[in-house]
Amino acid sequence: MSFIGDMVTVAAVSAGAFFFLAGTVGLLRFPDTLTRLHALTKADNLGLGLVVLGLLPQTESLRDGAKLVSIWLLGLLAGATVSQLIARTARQNETAG
């Protein structure tokens, strides 16, 4: 059981790290704010979610797992709000400038 848990952890965390890498490459290479936000939200939602999924087999109790999932949900909430606010400001600057 713990071997399967470790395999899941390695696979999921590696996938999450790949999404973080993709998000960072997108942040550095995309031309403008809106596309960069698009790249960052991939890192936020998918990458963090996969990392949390990978850490779940390593927790010792259901409560620790629930805490990890709530961290992911809070990260989603904050990321979504901030992305919307930045995007709206970028659009306003675009139409004004």
Partner 1 sequence: MSIATVFEIVLAAVVMGLGIWTIAVRETYSATVGFVAYGLLVALIWVRLDAVDVALTEAAIGGGLGGVLLLGAAARLRDADAMAAEAPGRAMRASAAALSILTATALAGAVLLLPDPAPTLAPAAVANAWATSLANPVTNVLMAFRAMDTMLEKVVLLLAIIGVWSLASDAAWGGRPGPRHEADPYGVLVFLARLLPPIGIVVGIYLLWTGANHPGGAFQGGAILASMWLLAIMAGLTDTPPVSSRWLRLILIAGPALFLAVGLGGLWFGAAFLAYPAAQAKPLILGIEVAMILTIAATLGLLLAGVPERSSRR
Interface positions with partner 1 (CB under 8 A): 74, 77-78, 80-81, 84-85
Which lies closer to partner 1 via its Cβ, residue 35 or residue 84? 84
The Cα 25–Cα 94 span in angstroms is 24
Which lies closer to partner 1 via its Cβ, residue 57 or residue 79? 79
Q: How far is the CB of 46 from partner 1 (least distance, A)?
A: 21
CB 65 within 8 Å of CB 56: yes
Q: How far is the CB of 81 from partner 1 (least distance, A)?
A: 4
Helix (H) or strand (E) holding 29: helix 2-29
